[in-house]
Structure 1
Amino acid sequence: MEVIVISDPLYFKAEARLINQLFEAGMPIFHLRKVGRNRADYAALLGGIDEDYHDRLALHQFHELQADFPLVKRLHYPEQLRKELDAKGLPSPSGNDVLSTSIHHPDALLELTRFEYTFYGPVFNSLSKPGYTGIAEADAGFTLPVKRTGPKIIALGGIDAGKVNAVRAMGFDGLALLGAVWMDKEQALNRFKLIKDKCDSDD
């Protein structure tokens, strides 16, 4: 099962080094999402990530930085931005660009013809945002439709090593990690490896 890591929303010391270590440990895709959207800091963090991994980076903000980092081919459109731009005609992928987005209800899948995958959640109660109730907490029998068209659906919200099997049983194509990795940065690498190994061994 596919594993995606989303960045800590805030910047922290030696962040680029830890991101590089996560890539070295087998992280397939990394989503760069920051609160505050300071372009200079965002670009500086991008510059600290080894170019060998740039094709596995997805930008949530400052898509125009592709001009400065041409190896970055993944662009993420958060749900609100997607809705704002949809009436104007959201850009289609150019060249090898890969587009992703976010939804909070399966019905929205019908709107996502341009996207390779979408985050869907919160699935469980959020680890990083207390008070965000997960879908699975409200509906213990929740599963995605077996037959569906459209982008891959990636589970997001409250996912740790103990919930990998539940995510698979719900019919998701993969999972995204945020709080499980960043809540304890000294253990971020070990936590990621544990979850990645569990996803790989259950395939």
Structure 2
Amino acid sequence: MKIVVISHPENFKHEKEILIRLFEEGLEYFHLRKHDFSKSKIEKYLDHLPKEYHNRIIIYDHFDLVDTYKLKGMHFNRKTKEKVGVYNYLLCHKSFSAHSFEEIKDLHNEFDYVFISPVFDSISKNGYTAKITPEEIESFINSGECKHEIVALGGITEHNARELMNKGIAGVALLGNIWTSYFESKNIDLIVKKFREIKQIVQSGRPYCMSIAGFDPSSGAGVTADIKTMEVHEVYGLGICSAITCQNEDEFASVDWLSADKIIAQAEMQFKKHPISVVKIGIIESLSTLNKVIDRLKQLKPDVKIIWDPVIKSTSGFSFHSSIDKSILNEILRKIYLVTPNALESRNLFDTDNPEKIRGIIKSGGFCNVLLKGGHIQSDVVNDFLIMHNDTRVFEGGRYSGIQKHGTGCVLSSAIASRIARGVGLESACEKGKKYTERFILSNNLRLGYHYCSEVLRLDRLH
């Protein structure tokens, strides 16, 4: 989870010294909010901070300075949100301040996160009392109407931060607790101690997500690719091996399968220790093995959400399965939450890659949601279709020239699993997962892609 620190509105002695200490402690998101500052004052402020920390700073005005100083990004509110479109050419962090769920639902722009406040009685503003409870935030996130990541703001301290854990929020923002404590004590070490305590609480709240997949020594696909994807999405990934493969990113030589019992034994040890809400499953020996594993996962945690990436053929051309037992397949599709086939895999599973026909099949069969990937369809347009019982969402995309990436299916499904583990709704998780995968594809001109920070890969991180 993210920890955001918002600046005090006024300049004061030792402020920059405190900031440098917080940056050294790992602060990644500093909101520089000085509404009375002219552009020249902001420039002077930035000039007095080491350049190595500029890419952690988010400003509230004079947005052209983002490019000049290579800042992390910009923050908007009701008064400034009309400016968002003006700065679309800057592919950087963009966030927003909201004070109600209705305001968040009405947002048309894509923001990396949205502040919601106040969640507790404000420390910096006397009489500004809590208007939104942690439980209400959780309910809103789980409602499916929340399309943005939520960062809680208002009155957050080391004493109440734990109440916000496991509510699906993306982070917490600190303001009064940091600066009021300093003005009362004039003790910089006390501020650092408070930050460390909240950081420890927040980090202990990182959700767990499990990957059951094959081991690919190149780490471009399989369980290690899943874990890398989960890590940058601020989810703790637990890796369960289902197969040992002999391959690199260009050539697949062989696979040695692990039995259902060995896969289950690995998973049981993790469920015994950790609260796992989402499991992503990749290559596995057979549908019979997959069904046994799913049954045991459901015994261990009945409400676990299982996402199946039904790998039939690797990107290097190796075929894993030659036949499909439809009776076992139907059992599986009734037990899991989402399946993510490409066009070829969809024809194997549903005998069609037509979204409307698939929707009829899953509705009549009582099957899970389907994310039909468009990458294997010969077209300049690469649209993905999220097919649900009552609706179909289309996520538009284009085809990119250059070298085909190894492991994009693994990256997509584990990105979706990570976001669901963090409390994001299915539609938003699929949409953001697609965007993350697009950035992964564009990360270099090699077969093995690079993973970057979980803010859906802002291009300033690639420079």
Same topology, TM > 0.5: yes
Query: Do residues 178 (structure 1) and 175 (structure 2) align?
Result: yes
Equivalences, count: 196
CA shift for structure 1 position 41 = 2.3
Higher RCO (CA < 8 A, seq sep 6+): 1
Distance 1:163 1:133 in 2: 15
Tell me the TM-score normalised to structure 2 length.
0.40
**Native 8 Å contact 2:118 2:129 kept in 1:** yes
3-state SS in 1 of match to 2:136: coil
**Native 8 Å contact 1:93 1:99 kept in 2:** no
Structure 1 unaligned residues grouped into runs of 5+: none
Distance 1:117 1:192 in 2: 21
Letter of the 1:75 counterpart = M
Letter of the 1:201 counterpart = S
State the Cα deviation string for residues 1-21 of structure 1 (Å, max 9, x = none).
211110111111132222111
Which 10-residue stretch deviates more, 4-13 or 139-148? 139-148
Question: Counterpart in 1 of 2:192?
Answer: 189
Distance 1:181 1:148 in 2: 32
**Native 8 Å contact 1:92 1:114 kept in 2:** no
3-state SS in 2 of match to 1:183: helix
Query: Do residues 79 (structure 1) and 73 (structure 2) align?
Result: no
Question: Counterpart in 1 of 2:112?
Answer: 116
Larger radius of gyration: 2
The percent of aligned pairs where both chains have the same amino acid is 29
**Native 8 Å contact 2:120 2:154 kept in 1:** yes
3-state SS in 1 of match to 2:79: helix
Question: Counterpart in 2 of 1:163?
Answer: 160
- The residue correspondences of 1:24-43 to structure 2 (distance < 5 A) are 24-43=24-43
**Residue 6 to residue 112, structure 1, CA distance change in 2 (3 Å):** farther
**Residue 112 to residue 168, structure 1, CA distance change in 2 (3 Å):** farther
Which 10-residue stretch deviates more, 34-43 or 192-201? 34-43
CA shift for structure 1 position 130 = 0.7
Tell me the TM-score normalised to structure 1 length.
0.87
Distance 2:98 2:203 in 1: 26
3-state SS in 2 of match to 1:193: helix
**Residue 40 to residue 202, structure 1, CA distance change in 2 (3 Å):** same
**Residue 140 to residue 47, structure 1, CA distance change in 2 (3 Å):** closer
Question: Counterpart in 1 of 2:51?
Answer: 51
Query: Do residues 105 (structure 1) and 108 (structure 2) align?
Result: no
Question: Counterpart in 2 of 1:22?
Answer: 22
Structure 2 unaligned residues grouped into runs of 5+: 207-463
State the Cα deviation string for residues 19-62 of structure 1 (Å, max 9, x = none).
11111101121000014223332221111222112111100122
Question: Counterpart in 1 of 2:2?
Answer: 2
CA shift for structure 1 position 149 = 4.2
Letter of the 1:168 counterpart = M
Distance 2:135 2:159 in 1: 17
